[in-house]
Structure 1
Amino acid sequence: MSMGQDIFDSGDAMSPYYDGIISSCAVAIMPPAIAFGLSVQALATSIYLNQCNPGDMFKAAGAWIVLSEKNTEAAEALAAQTERVTDENWKGSDAEAFKGNSDNVQSQLKELAIAAFLIAAQLIALGIALTVYWAFLLAVTLVMDAFLVAYIAAYAGVITAVGAEAIRASCLVVATSLVATVKSFEAVMFSISSGCAALTALISVITFAYQDSKGNPVTIEEIAKGSLTNQLLGLGTFAERALLMTPGGRHATTGAAEGFKHGVNSQGGFGIVDSLASEYYDGNEDIPEDYRDPTDEELSWT
């Protein structure tokens, strides 16, 4: 089995566990956010707005590596076939033209393999960073819930009730410190993602230019169709969550039932955009093939 397939399978296996952590944090952070407000609300907002599954990152990286491997294998196979052409079995202008075109195609395949591998490396870096980030957010959620349990327990006793507000004050101090750490994490994530976006753009420009120089002109439109659809879907889902999640500024005035509803639904959002898009795109033959993702039946690496 290829390295890319191994990474893809690992990401596929880990994805449900990551999703469980993400969903649990989104639900569990809601009660302390409502009870304590202020800085705990900021922590909840960060959890609700950072819903990317690291397992999906690893799956995407694995798919890119598989693509890189297939391009490399194709280049090597073509090179082996080209080496079989000798003056003894084929010579003349046609033979030389074949060798020249073969070299060009090999160069294109190798360049695409390198580009795919570099993109995969970026996705792996993001996946690792997100794994560390979600481990931290899980710890944050557990700490806030521990404060809430102590807070409720204190209020449950007549003697201990006087100490409840001290627990709340301590929680807010800790939460303020954690918010600063979360913002540091987010700054690092932004730096990594921005660097990856810039590198991907550079790789794309180099790929366009190199492929064109080797007689394979590629337009941005041909490549961007499917990815543009995915980008718009992602932005739409993010906008929906930002609009419908339990916002930090409204935690204090949001009822418990309403807050729970926001916390449970689609990890802080309702998932309407993603659900409707999936329903519309899956099996809809009216959508041009270039603008939709291939189905599992259409995917083949052979």
Structure 2
Amino acid sequence: MSGCKGKIRILDSYFEGAHDDPINIHGTHLKVMEYVSEKQVKVRFMHGQSYGFEAFYKGDEVEFVDAHSLRCLQPARVKAVERIDDYEILLTLDRAVNDNVKTGENVSVENVTWTPEVEIRNNYFSRIPTRGILVTTRRKVVIEDNVFYRIPMSGVLVSDDARGWYESGPVRDVTIRRNLFMECGSPVIAVMPENDRYEGAVHRNVRIEANRFVIRQGGEAVSARATDGLIIRDNYISVAGDGSVSPDAFFRTEDCKDVTISGNRCGRSLR
């Protein structure tokens, strides 16, 4: 689901045998190619599998985004849209583009109006070669009471990038709660924006609560980077082998602030 708005609800469903991620909810970063005038920019679809659709409408709110830090440089509102061809669009904005945007080495534009609220509840995921759920939207997200059975990559991935797939954007309110992750790939939950320069948090307010992880040997339950307001609490981790293991060994953070890790428990699985 690309460039949607409103509320997306995926409930009581069974996903088995798909050849790629069964759920991927995101926006699209279009790269700035030219500053035509002080209030006009030419932008371009950059990925060969994602182009040609109506990415902007009059009245939409947009943000200029630094592709390396994934931080907002300037907000604006669209006054007019001119489709040049399947790849390029001319946007007329309600304000002049700031100098710090124009001097950026790699800048994209995200449509922040077309970003949905998401509820994914009581679903089953199995026999998928990639991941279970990808989601990058700044509105409220709840992923709750699902089963992820032996997903070979991450069960849930929160990304955001403006240099590869160009799938936007930041998350601001995500709850991942009461799910069963059965022998999924590592990290099982990955909050991993694809920034190559840290200039502050990309994602905020991610809560990972009361989940059950059955972990493959040597795997991680949660890995997060460039995320502020991260809460990992009251999760239960089952791991094969002998001896005692601290649950904190299954969590990894990098460039994160305001992190709470509490109430997590570990036990030994029968495998």
Give the TM-score taking structure 2 as reference length.
0.24
Larger radius of gyration: 1
Larger RCO, structures 1/2 (Cα 8 Å, 6+ apart): 1
Give the TM-score taking structure 1 as reference length.
0.22
Name whichever structure is richer in helix by fraction. Answer: 1
